[in-house]
Amino acid sequence: FSSRRRHTRFRNVTGVQTCALPIFDAFGEVLRLQPESGAAHRHIGAVLASTGRRADAIGHLARAAALAPDDGQARLDLGSVLIESGRPADAVAPLREAARLLPASSEVRNSLGVALAASGREADAASQFAEALRLDPRNAEARQNLDRAARAGRRGAGTRR
């Protein structure tokens, strides 16, 4: 199952990863002046994730989510980095909250499906992939994930007989 995330798009926007350093410094200065800025924590978390520093990114994204209870993007980013870090079960809660806050987001539903599938909850994952497709019928990644979930379900049903 796959979930392409904003962090790869961030790299495309900034060019090479070394361009992230001035952005990181700028948001670091914002945090120095406003340590309770959820937006600054979210942006620093995105920069850290884009440069492969996932453990540090998780800390900033979790802080962003705590500081900004209505920031669905912070929860989506947190869940995505948790998946990338091999912690899909931990990603389910922030992604469920992101789905509540961003109900029209196909990307959120696909990411939640990925976390559920990687946590062994294939039926729940399939329903999230289907919802992602309902929200955006052109979401090729969700379509592929739904097909994989269906194949996994058929294989599982065959072994239970």
Q: 85-132: per-residue pLDDT in tens?
A: 999 999 999 999 999 999 999 999 999 999 999 999 999 999 999 999
Residue 27 identity (one-letter amino acid): F
Higher pLDDT, 32 or 88: 88
- The whole-angstrom separation of Cα 94 and Cα 18 is 29
Two tokens, residue 21: 């350093």
Q: How far apart, in Å, are the Cα atoms of 123 and each of 84, 88, 95, 136?
A: 21, 16, 17, 20
pLDDT attached to residue 11: 39
Tokens of 111: 């990411």
Query: Which pLDDT does position 3 carry in this prediction?
Result: 64
User: Percent of the chain at pLDDT above 70?
Assistant: 80
pLDDT, mean of residues 26-35: 75
Asked if residue 143 has pLDDT above 80, the reply is yes
* Torsion angle, alpha carbons of 81, 87, 90, 95, to 10: 40
If residue 151 lies in a helix (H) or strand (E), which one and from where to where?
Answer: helix 140-160
pLDDT for 10: 40
Q: Give the integer Cα–Cα distance in Å for 34 and 161.
A: 60
State the Cα torsion 140-145-147-149 to the nearest 10°.
-170
In angstroms and rounded to an integer, the radius of gyration of the C-alpha atoms of the chain is 17
Does the pLDDT value for residue 83 go beyond 70? yes
